[in-house]
Structure 1
Amino acid sequence: MEQAGSRWRLAIEDGDEIEADLVIGADGVNSQARAAVAGEPPSYVGVTLIAGEIKHPLPGS
């Protein structure tokens, strides 16, 4: 993946190349897309998830 003016050029595994206005990197914490844009590895900066459970009776139960 490399920037081509205001667009991005991506090399696909099968050898094809495409250009796009927007690339969404949804490939996890060690994202190849993030590495191409940020140029540095991710670092932990605090809480990443807060989960909870709310029990509420269903109507008619």
Structure 2
Amino acid sequence: MSVVEILKALLPDLESQHERDEHYLEAAEDDADLERRLHEIEDRGRNVPAQAITLGLYER
């Protein structure tokens, strides 16, 4: 059993970053808001150290 599988078994409500991003995009009010949110997600990791990205320690 992998670490991810163990975490999902222990914390079934824990969402992956991909799932969180999908919900964030679904909440867009209109096309302009959706476009802004897409750019925000794309730009999110550009100025963050690689280790922070790996650990999921960056702001939304």
TM-score (norm 2): 0.19
Task: Using CA pairs under 8 Å that are at least 6 residues apart, name the structure with larger relative contact order, 1 or 2.
Answer: 2
| Structure with higher strand content | 1
Which has the greater radius of gyration? Answer: 1
| Structure with higher helix content | 2
TM-score (norm 1): 0.19
